Amino acid sequence: MSHTSSTSDVLRNAGTTVASDASWALEKQFDRIIAEHSRAIWRLACSYEPVAGRREELMQDIALALWQALPHFRGECSERTFVFRIAHNRGLSHIWKRKPAHESIDKLPERDHPIDERPEPEEQAAQECRRVALMSAVRSLPVTYRQMILLMLEDLSHAEMAEIVGITERNVAVRLNRARKALKEALEGQS
């Protein structure tokens, strides 16, 4: 009897250890993914949501969706494809659920640090202006073009884009070409 109970205790302890090890490994993987892709996710959130407060909410939603989907990730695609697909899907859901904006849309990003903390402040300021103009032009694009432009700017291959958006590589090339033209027009329209 005591032998049976000690065996079941050992099995229970082993089960608990395996479960806690798996959850620890998952948390480590999540932390690593966030560390590697958080900048790209933030840029994506910026392009989907112009209002600063809601942008942070979208970032939180993307992180939550990643956390929930990570246990189901079976490595059928690259980790980057997985992250971008979830982030884009969450961005789409965000647009579908979006309420009309009551806050003013920020044309320039809020800064709590000086712009010239790096060398060549004039060049930095000029680049910041170009970045804001680019972001504004990207936001003005329809969602399917916006998705392609975002993926292109994040340096993803056509195959990865096709996997993320769910279209063929040939369609990616066509849509990307049109999206680039639309972006160029939007940028020219600003200047």
Partner 1 sequence: MTLDAELAAWREDWHSEVEPLPDVKRKIRQRQERAVAAAILTSTCVAISTIRAFRRPSPFISGLAVGLWFTTIFVGGCACCLRRGTWKQCARAGLAYAELSYRRAVAKARIIRLSFWVCLGTIVVLCIAFAWDWKHLTIGYGMILAALVAEAAVFRRCGRRKEREIAETKQQLDNLKDQLATGSEGLSLS
Gyration radius from the chain CA atoms: 22
The answer to the question of residue 26 lying near partner 1 (CB under 8 A) is: no
Using rule CB under 8 A, residue 42 touches partner 1: yes
Residue 186's closest CA among 126, 138, 154? 138
**Member of 23, 144, 168, 190 binding partner 1 (CB under 8 A):** 144
Dihedral sign computed on CA atoms, order 98, 187, 178, 83? negative
Secondary element (H or E) of residue 11: helix 2-48
Q: Measured from the CB of residue 61, what is the shortest distance to partner 1 in angstroms?
A: 7
Work out whether 61 is an interface residue with partner 1 (CB under 8 A). Answer: yes
| Other residues' Cβ atoms within 10 Å of the Cβ of residue 30 | 15
DSSP structure class, residue 76: S
| Residues near partner 1 (CB under 8 A) | 34, 38-39, 41-43, 46, 56, 59-65, 67-69, 72-73, 82, 85-86, 89-90, 92-93, 95-97, 109, 111-113, 127-128, 130-131, 134, 141-145, 152-153, 155, 163-167, 175, 178, 180, 183-184
